[in-house]
Amino acid sequence: MNRRARIWIPLLLGIALYAAWRLLSERNDVDPRALNALLFAAVVPLILFAVRVIDAIAFGLLSRRRHVRAPMLLREMFAIILYIALFAWAISTIFHYAVTGLLFTGTVVAAVLGLALQETLGNVFAGIALHLEDSYDVGDVIRSGDFIGVVEAIRWRATRIRTFNNDVVLLPNSLLARERVEVFPKNNLNARILQIGIDYNVPPATAIAILTQAASNVDGVAHDAPCFARVGAFADSSITYELKYFTRDYSQRDRIDADIRKAVWYALRRNNIPIAFPIRSVQRYHPPAERGQLTRDELVEELQQVDILSPLTPHAREDIAAAARMHSYSKGETMIRRGAEGDSMFIVHDGSVAIRVDDHEVARLGPGSVVGEMALLTGETRTADVVAVTDVVAAEINKDALWPILHEHPELADAISAKVAMRRDSLDSLQTGAQQEAEQTVLSRIRAYFGL
């Protein structure tokens, strides 16, 4: 049914029913209630005719003169208000019914429905507000949140858009009224920026001219607003250029972007300009030398300065240096705890340590000093706490490193025991004449510990 038929058919039907009512109203044998019903039936199509004529005049002719398309939702709201007003007048006039009572009852019902349909009514009024503000129209591209697409329809509850992936999304009008909406109107100069990387060896003036010319000839790029390129940033492997163009059909942006990139590729190839590839400078990593770390030769040289190990042969010191382990201790850390079992001694290479007995410091030793030698030689428990006064680097020598040497050369036990006895004599301030007894005591313990 075309627009003229929608207007004129209700008029003709209303006139015919009204003529029938006039004929029947002159007879006395017709029920008045039937006449009222016939009159109301004649008024209904006339009301339809009147509303459609007013809509055509108010929105059709005025919209064509001002070149502004009236929103469909606004026209439907206007028609509903007219229908309610005209039908209320017809009912009160023909049937002599108190419309105020109907309106009161309707108000109560409307209040109940309003509470139950808050979200739906919110979408409706949000849609009316969007239309009154002329925010967007069918054919425009809008972006709201994660969705972007072409507006296909604006309804009472939601706005339907078709995304660039050809998906249909319904966005509630209340959401659009509440959230940020970005609009790209149809037939408007909408800007678009592409980022393209070009080799650093190409002068910017040359690159800008090539990019601008390549983009200008792509279908869909507007010619009344010229596109242009500019230096955007200095990236790791290329200069990033920003190519800005304008289009009147933003829904074609993905296709235009692809065509521009293709045109740029051919333009660069024609001008013998290579595509910028990632550039990486590779350097071999050399970890910094750790503080206080020794080579084997340096450790052998340091072992020569240890008095209790001086009886050993150079080959034996090399074997011990190969088996020694280097350790680092932080300031305040306990290296040896009194009463603990152990089978190793420590040679302080860097830093200083404190010898403590019952929380009293009895000695402080520096680089080259030896601690814990009795545990190495005899296996006795630790007799004092050794605490790092500063950050300390020390070499640890355990029983396994010394055992094969003493079994190969048992005579070294005598020489080592003499050195230990002299060391303990100086430390314990032994009385003169007791040194020989101390040597025998240490020697017997060493022989017993190593099974010599």
Helix axes 32-55 and 3-25, enclosed angle (nearest 10): 160
The CA-atom distances, in angstroms, between 334 and each of 291, 387, 396 are: 19, 4, 15
Contact 394, 348 (CB under 8 A): yes
Alpha carbon distance 164, 253 (integer Å)? 9
Alpha carbon distance 52, 83 (integer Å)? 10
CATH number of 190-270: 3.30.70.100
Q: What is the mean pLDDT of the chain?
A: 79
Summarised one tens digit per residue, pLDDT across range 27-63 is: 777 777 787 788 888 888 888 888 878 777 776 665 5
CATH class of the structural domain 138-184: mainly beta
> What's 313-356 look like in SS3?
CHHHHHHHHHHCEEEEECCCCEEECCCCCCCEEEEEEECCEEEE
Contact 212, 229 (CB under 8 A): yes
Summarised one tens digit per residue, pLDDT across range 236-275 is: 889 999 999 999 999 999 999 999 999 999 999 999 998 8
Q: What is the mean pLDDT of residues 118-135?
A: 59
The confidence score (pLDDT) of residue 290 equals: 60
CATH number of 296-450: 2.60.120.10
Threshold 0.95, pTM exceeds: no
